[in-house]
Amino acid sequence: MYVGRGAMARAMKSNPGIKLGTDGNPRCWWCAGDPLYENYHDTEWGRPQDDDRLLFEKIILEGFQAGLSWITILRKRENFRAAFKYFDIEAVAKFGARDVKRLLGNAGIVRNRAKIQAAINNAGRCLELINEFGSLANYVWRYEPPAKRRPKRLGYKQVMEMTTCDEAIAMSKDLRKRGWSFVGPTTLYAFMQDMGLVNDHLSACPIREEAKAARSKFRD
């Protein structure tokens, strides 16, 4: 991503939510200043995904994030992947008491018993959901908000006020009925932002158009 100095100056002046990253390019404010976070923002956040393993990983990691910052989880993500068999859904669903003990002793992840047990339980519930809908992706993308209901332009204030949406609330309610946990509306909205069900890059962020183009090529 390269942004000319003129466009950079205009973006910075007109949008308080745009900050310069470590490479000198403007981005959404929340990732600026940390190369790991900036790369995540540029290459993952808002890009549509239909890989069940990635979708499951993100739901679980969002659950672990509860009460923490996302950068904390991001820095531990490779440790989480190794500890949870790279989020192989069938493998995690088979975890038992020994695995819970092993995970509680793993300093590389968030050692919270309730969240660990929820991840294992959710893997089992996810297999049930896949059996019903064919894939986790088929289920998740049923909750993509209609484009006409999304803002055409996003500023800092708008994004700060959008902590959830009707579709995230509906998905949360349905998953809870199916026995999932740590899947509240705010958690699922963050999941939707990451997996491209919504594009919450600020309008002045250069990555917004890239995410939009990726969605246009994505399956419906």
Which of the residues are catalytic? 40, 62, 70
Rounded Cα gap, residues 104 and 102, in angstroms: 6
Angle at 125 between CA 121 and CA 126, to 5 degrees: 110
Q: Are 136 and 175 in contact (CB under 8 A)?
A: no
Three-state secondary-structure class, residue 1: coil
Q: What is the 8-class DSSP label of residue 197?
A: S
* Kind plus residue range of the DSSP H or E element containing 207: helix 207-217
The contacts of residue 217 (CB under 8 Å, 6+ apart) are none
